[in-house]
Structure 1
């Protein structure tokens, strides 16, 4: 029985969701989605999510600041194969109010409800010109804080 997004056992409430259709070009010699493709999917949903909250690339250029990934952890639990339709959920789970934020991901195959991947990424605000760490602009802080509250987050920092 194929499950809808509402029927999925998400790790956290209210995920931002991206639908993914796995195509032959996504697979590797083993016949399942390549590790590099999973990273691309994580990046795709991260940008889609943050832009939906108002942190568009135009805003990044205007402020001269952006959130850069500093670490990504991926747990590959089950393979995805060509022809699979997947749902990738993400949540903003941490924001220190100054420099750092984090998000979690869960990749699910609705056909059987199985979680294929769990991942976590951490980010630091950087100055676009110098590429050095920089304090988060107030408007980013407002957006990140609001997204954590709206998504049912506000979880304590992990690790």
Structure 2
């Protein structure tokens, strides 16, 4: 199982804001994108969610920016699930600049598992729950 998912990419020019570094909103987009990539890699994809009649929605995001990222920077983006409860999950993220492994940002998203029909929280199906491994605080990168 992919407990900690790694995604490496180069920061594109269009990710920059007027200050010349990666825009804050871009980090949230990257969080969503890498969460989907990790989920898909585990077999937890839109086909499965359609079959189960469920989906995940973001309840909250928290981001701590530690150092700016710039166009052309090579980034290692890590993500993992730190808890799975009855109808929610906490996913964490860490951005590292590849060349020196400096932490650029750390973040987390509280995801809620909901019925696609009602939009209300529901119990995470075992079929979904069993695809994810929890990374304890002691094992976080």
Same fold, judged at TM 0.5 (above): yes
Equivalent-residue separation in structure 2 for 1:121 and 1:94 (angstroms): 11
User: Is structure 2 residue 87 aligned with structure 1 residue 102?
Assistant: no
1:132 alignment partner in structure 2? 120
Helix, strand or coil: the match of 1:140? Answer: helix
Equivalent-residue separation in structure 2 for 1:133 and 1:155 (angstroms): 26
TM-score for the superposition, normalised by structure 1: 0.81
2:80 alignment partner in structure 1? 91
Give 1:103 deviation, angstroms.
Answer: 1.0
Equivalent-residue separation in structure 2 for 1:155 and 1:25 (angstroms): 34
- Please tell me the root mean square deviation across aligned C-alpha atoms, in Å: 1.5
In the alignment, is the contact (CA less than 8 A) between 1:94 and 1:155 conserved in 2?
A: no
Deviates more, 1:127-136 or 1:45-54: 127-136
Structure 1 residue ranges without an equivalent (≥5):
1-13
Question: How many residues matched?
Answer: 136
Counterpart selection for 1:28 from 1, 11, 17? 17
User: CA 1:59–1:90 in 2, change beyond 3 Å: closer, same or farther?
Assistant: same
**Which aligned runs of 4 or more in structure 1 are off by greater than 6 angstroms?**
none
Q: What is the correspondence of 1:134-149 to structure 2 with a 5 Å cutoff?
A: 134-144=122-132, 147-148=133-134
Identify the structure with the greater strand proportion: 2
Structure 2 residue ranges without an equivalent (≥5):
none
In the alignment, is the contact (CA less than 8 A) between 1:17 and 1:90 conserved in 2?
A: yes
TM-score for the superposition, normalised by structure 2: 0.91
User: CA 1:78–1:155 in 2, change beyond 3 Å: closer, same or farther?
Assistant: closer
User: Is structure 2 residue 103 aligned with structure 1 residue 112?
Assistant: no
2:65 alignment partner in structure 1? 76
